[in-house]
Amino acid sequence: MQIKYLLSALPLISCSLVAALGVFVLAQNKRGRINYLFAALCLCLCVYNFGAFLMYILKDAAAAAAASTACILFTAFLIGLLPHFIFAFVSHNGGLQKFTAFKLSFFYAAAALIIILTLNGFIVSGVTLTPTGFISLNGPYFILYAAAMAFSGFYSILYLYYSQSGGDADDYKVKIRHILLGILISFLFGIFDILKKIAGIFTEVSTLEYGIIVFCALSAYAIVKHKFLHIEFAVKKGVLYSILMILVALTVLSVAVAAEQITQNWLDSSSFSINLLNALLVGFFFDPVKDWLQRILNKYFFPRLTNIKLDDTLIKNKAVLECIAGEKIDELKLLKANIERIITDYEKNHL
């Protein structure tokens, strides 16, 4: 199997996740302003991911150029949509705002300018073919696109962070901390992509989709755990934990593959020493990161279990553990039988 098909799986997965998240949020309240703004954000990210997927698998340069243009266009919409969503969310939760209309006009004007420049070929000038797919080439005003994206994302993150100082601070912090972290991670991954292009590192591996997957996971957790966007959704902890662990494993695997591609591209070599370097990166960095993320999930989902410390001798003595478990089960059965007897006696005497 060619490496490009493995790399193309991640943007497709990211596209599916963010599309499902957007549809779910919009379905909860189709008339809610923050719901359709959040869904619009998800739509833009979904189109970007699908465009990135197409650039991996397409063989026609013209079609790849169209996919590249679509990626830039829909990320340009985020210049206005992201601060618009943040302003609406803060306002919906009772935050005080000043000059909102003026700020939004500025951001949407910047987005419109980038869109016009993109359509005229000034942001991306074309595409070039690599062993794992097409990559876009910078246009003369790509730096303007980079500056607009960076300013919009940076301002939105800071605005959301400092909005915690007003209103019911404790409740509000609980609601926004995961979505704030998700936006921050996506922003950093996106900026890393942009900086690579500015520095002339034209690797075919994109990183924004990794951040989008993290954003989807944290948004879903915020909805389930803290009723983010005032959405009530019940799901078993075990199911959510399993889904998040699968996402963690897929993300770490994909990042490891991407790191290998970037290293080989940067050093312009795929020799044994480079492969050994990548193996050391996986062993000393990516595996500990995966274990650290798993411990964080364990702490959030099963805090009682993570605090339990059992004696080694007791753990090794399987017979003792089975005996304790059997006694507890017998006690529960006896309690159940007593409750059923009490209910039966009550029905006989009073009905």
Residues 73 and 201 in one domain: yes
Handedness of CA 222, 224, 225, 228 (dihedral sign): positive
Q: Indicate the burial class of 304 (C-beta count within 10 angstroms; 0-12, 13-18, 19 or more).
A: exposed
Q: Which of 208, 234, 260 represents a domain boundary (last residue)?
A: 234
Residues 230 and 333 in one domain: no
Centroid of chain to Cα 340: 48
Residues 317 and 172 in one domain: no
Residues 186 and 156: their CA atoms lie apart, in Å, by 13
Residues 230 and 316 in one domain: no
Q: Average pLDDT per run of 10 along the chain, which is 351 residues long?
A: 68 87 83 87 93 88 92 94 91 76 93 94 88 85 94 92 67 78 89 84 71 84 72 55 66 65 60 64 69 72 55 55 65 75 70 58
Q: What is the DSSP letter of 128?
A: E
Residues 29 and 45: their CA atoms lie apart, in Å, by 21
Residues 339 and 198 in one domain: no
For residue 40, is it within any domain? yes
Number of domains in the chain: 2
Interhelix angle 142-162/61-92, nearest 10 degrees: 20
Residues 59 and 146 in one domain: yes
Residues 21 and 47: their CA atoms lie apart, in Å, by 14
Q: Which of 234, 251, 270 represents a domain boundary (last residue)?
A: 234
Which residue, 262, 257, 294, is CA-closest to 279? 257
Most distant CA atoms of the chain, gap in Å: 88
Q: Which of 209, 234, 259 represents a domain boundary (last residue)?
A: 234
pLDDT of residue 332: 72
168: how many CB neighbours lie within 10 A of its CB? Answer: 11
Residues 203 and 338 in one domain: no
Amino acid sitting at position 274: I
pLDDT of residue 337: 76
By residue range, what is the domain housing residue 69? 3-234
Task: Quote the pTM value.
Answer: 0.67
